[in-house]
Structure 1
Amino acid sequence: MNPMNLLQLQQRFQIFQQEHPKIIAFFKAIGNDSMKEGTIIAVKVTTPDGKEIESNIKITANDITTFQQLMEIAKNR
């Protein structure tokens, strides 16, 4: 991967964190106790015109590794 792309991604992630500070706190809160293989994360999106889209994922061992790496990036920024 291009190092410049990684730098841009890190910058975008910092902006995202600044604009949505509760999301990192949310993942920290569920991180230790709830992030276990088999846990289901459900997401619901409501557009400005009221359309609702829902989905969910069942957490795998690979997902846990990814979330841990993302949390390390957030912690070390």
Structure 2
Amino acid sequence: MDFNQIAMIQKIKSGMDRFRANHPKFPLFLNAVSQNALMEGTVIEINVTTPEGRNYCTNVKLQADDMEFLNSLKSMGQH
């Protein structure tokens, strides 16, 4: 790993720490969802509203392939 990669990782960690400090309930929400709600058939909906009032919304219904990917992400976070 070179110096630029280490600097980028530190920058990402710093940004994550600031995000957690600014939005302390969001990581708790994600943790609860990841432990209790991520299973095949679950629908995840994301709704974004801009300051001007524009609204963007989408959803995905989790499939078996999605669960394999999400479980891989979970295991990466545990190391």
Greater shift, 41-50 or 51-60, is seen at: 51-60
Larger Rg: 2
Aligned sequence identity (%): 25
Greater shift, 30-39 or 10-19, is seen at: 30-39
Amino acid at match of 1:36: M
Q: d(CA) in 2 for partners of 1:3 and 1:40?
A: 36
| Residue number in structure 2 paired with 1:63 | 70
1:35-67 Cα distance to aligned partner (Å, 9 max, x none): 22442211000111110001223441212322x
Give the TM-score taking structure 1 as reference length. 0.75
Aligned-CA RMSD value: 2.1
Q: Between Structure 1 and Structure 2, how many residues are aligned? A: 71
Unaligned runs of 5+ in 1: none
In structure 2, the CA distance between the partners of 1:48 and 1:65, relative to structure 1 (3 Å rule), is same
Asked if the contact 1:40–1:58 (Cα under 8 Å) also holds between the matched residues in 2, the reply is yes
Give the TM-score taking structure 2 as reference length. 0.73
Aligned counterparts, 1:1-77, within 5 A = 2-59=5-62, 60=66, 61-66=68-73, 68=74, 69-70=76-77, 72=78
Unaligned runs of 5+ in 2: none
